[in-house]
Amino acid sequence: MTSSQGSPPSSPEPGAGLGRRERMVLAALAALLAVLLFWLRGGVHPAAPLERLARQSLDLTVALSNGRPTLVEFYADWCEACRSMAPAMEQIEQRHRGALDVVLLNVDNPRWQPELDRYQVNGIPQLELFNARGQSVGRSIGARSPAELEALAHALVKEEPLPQLVGVGPTSPLEQDPETSAAAAPVAVAPRSHG
């Protein structure tokens, strides 16, 4: 015979007032919140603006043929100037989304070697600027301030002349005489040299 009067009251176990179904729902909600928090914080390694832009960039051939002007940045993950420009580049991409394509190509990725050769990339960051018809209208070499990047983007979107900035100029498709161009050709410099 058991008596309830002689034994001390027992403390309830955590979750004892909840049924199995309620505990499963709470566990699922906790897991969902943990995954959401993990995703919002950038996963294992928070993505830097350079990484985010590079991942969401259009393919260059698509960007050059979709009727929008294009700003292409040749960059490297280890390039301090590229990383310092990244937040401004991200803002430009967001501000001009739908009117301007921003494409990032990593010079360390062998996939982009034909583009490195085609656009004669010998230092980074290098910006290639294209009008809405996919025609090259200029190049910018070296780090750019947010205001300079915005001025370049604005000129591309409005189809205006490029701003007069040091290191920015039009590109020329002029053919050179093969004999004189071989003698005057600069020594090839690797993209990683910042040369």
| Pair 31, 127 in one domain | no
Query: Could you tell me the CATH number of the domain that includes residue 53?
Result: 3.40.30.10
What digits encode the pLDDT tens for the residues 125-174?
A: 999 999 999 999 999 999 999 999 999 999 999 999 999 887 787 765 54
Angle (nearest 5°) at CA 184 between 182 and 188: 80
Asked, for residue 5, whether it belongs to a domain, the answer is no
Q: Is 54 helix (H, G, I), strand (E, B) or coil?
A: helix
| Pair 60, 86 in one domain | yes
The set of catalytic residues is 79, 82
| Pair 41, 75 in one domain | no
| Pair 35, 81 in one domain | no
Asked, for residue 94, whether it belongs to a domain, the answer is yes
Asked, for residue 2, whether it belongs to a domain, the answer is no
Asked, for residue 151, whether it belongs to a domain, the answer is yes
Q: Which two tokens stand for residue 27?
A: 């566990």
| Pair 64, 134 in one domain | yes
Whether the model pTM is above 0.75: no
Nearest-angstrom CA–CA distance, 91 and 94: 5
Q: Which two tokens stand for residue 146?
A: 């947010």
| Pair 33, 74 in one domain | no
Which residues does residue 128 pair with via DSSP β-bridges, in sequence order?
A: 72, 139
How many CA within 13 A on the CB side of residue 187?
3
| Pair 59, 37 in one domain | no
Looking at residue 80, its amino acid is E
**Residue 97, pLDDT score:** 94
Contact 70, 103 (CB under 8 A): yes
What's the structural domain count of the chain? 2
Element (H, E) at 125: none
- If we measure between CA atoms, which residue out of 9, 131, 10 comes closest to residue 64? 131
| Pair 40, 86 in one domain | no
**Residue 189, pLDDT score:** 43
Domain carrying residue 28 = 18-46
Q: Which of 45-54, 55-64, 73-82, 145-154 has the lowest mean pLDDT?
A: 45-54
Q: Which two tokens stand for residue 88?
A: 């401004």
Q: Which of 34-43, 55-64, 133-142, 185-194 has the lowest mean pLDDT?
A: 185-194
What digits encode the pLDDT tens for the residues 98-122?
A: 999 999 999 999 999 999 999 999 8
Angle (nearest 5°) at CA 96 between 192 and 171: 45
Q: Which of 2-16, 46-60, 67-81 has the lowest mean pLDDT?
A: 2-16
Nearest-angstrom CA–CA distance, 45 and 66: 33
